[in-house]
Amino acid sequence: MLIETENLWKTYKMGIEELHALRGVTVSVAKGEYLAIMGPSGSGKSTLMNLIGCLDTPSQGSYVLNGKQVSSMNDDELARIRNREIGFVFQTFNLLARATALHNVELPLIYNGTDSKTRIEMAKHALEQVDLTDRMMHKPNELSGGQRQRVAVARALVNNPSIILADEPTGNLDSKTGDEIMGLFARLHLNGHTIIVVTHEPDIALHANRVIHIRDGMIEREVITSSATVNDI
């Protein structure tokens, strides 16, 4: 398994009270799987995303990512895992306004010390994968919302991560553009990428092969969707 969590808890202390954002979540994700995590506001889905994305650590429980026990890592170790293993796609794109699409995609490679010539080639290849070769020298304000999200997807892809983790990736897009981005994820999945989408929208979740529903910090149910193949089941 690529991801294995066991009995994950996340507890926040609020004065003398404790808020349990996650309550003993156990989930496995296979390499090459396309998973959606669904739940209403306050359900714990964002907390689970932060733990899977190594943006936070659990209060208790185990999280193994690609054979590495990450639940007990320190901040520096988690930063290295995020850079090498996880490609993030956010609702708000999180692009540098004054940088070109090419430079925005290069950023994870700059942080990990890849040399200039190599990272430019890798960034060009990532932009080619999202059909933006002809826009690589454009800045975000010269791109449509859908094109900006494609730049964000290319940035997530550039390190060839173990997981693409997308948080409400169509939240700032109109429905037609959102469908195009979900079509891009479907194509990336067919090419072997592991994709986890966090969403509160049922129609977005149905693009995945499996949907985990979270409520009150616990897994309420799991659903295999009509998108799943025999191999996924």
| Structural domain of 26 | 3-224
In a domain? residue 233: no
In a domain? residue 39: yes
- Name the residue with tokens 């850079």: 83
pLDDT of residue 66: 92
| Tens-digit pLDDT profile for residues 123-144 | 999 999 999 999 999 999 999 9
| Tens-digit pLDDT profile for residues 66-118 | 999 998 899 999 999 999 899 999 888 899 999 999 999 999 999 888 999 99
Domain count, the chain: 1
- CB-CB contact of 170 with 89 (8 Å): no
- CB-CB contact of 24 with 219 (8 Å): no
| Tens-digit pLDDT profile for residues 188-218 | 999 999 999 999 899 999 999 999 999 999 9
Give every CB contact of residue 106 below 8 A, 6+ residues apart in sequence.
Answer: 119, 120, 122, 123, 158
In a domain? residue 231: no
- CB-CB contact of 39 with 213 (8 Å): yes
In a domain? residue 94: yes
| Tens-digit pLDDT profile for residues 155-194 | 999 999 999 999 999 988 899 999 999 999 999 999 999 9
Percentage of residues in the chain having pLDDT higher than 70 = 97
In a domain? residue 155: yes
pTM of the model: 0.91
In a domain? residue 87: yes
Which CATH number fits the domain that encloses residue 42? 3.40.50.300
* Residues 178, 184: Cα–Cα separation, whole Å: 10
In a domain? residue 185: yes
In a domain? residue 230: no
pLDDT of residue 91: 87
Q: How many CA atoms lie within 13 A of 110 on its CB side?
A: 8
pLDDT of residue 233: 45
Q: Which of 190, 202, 188, 197 is nearest to 160 (CA)?
A: 188
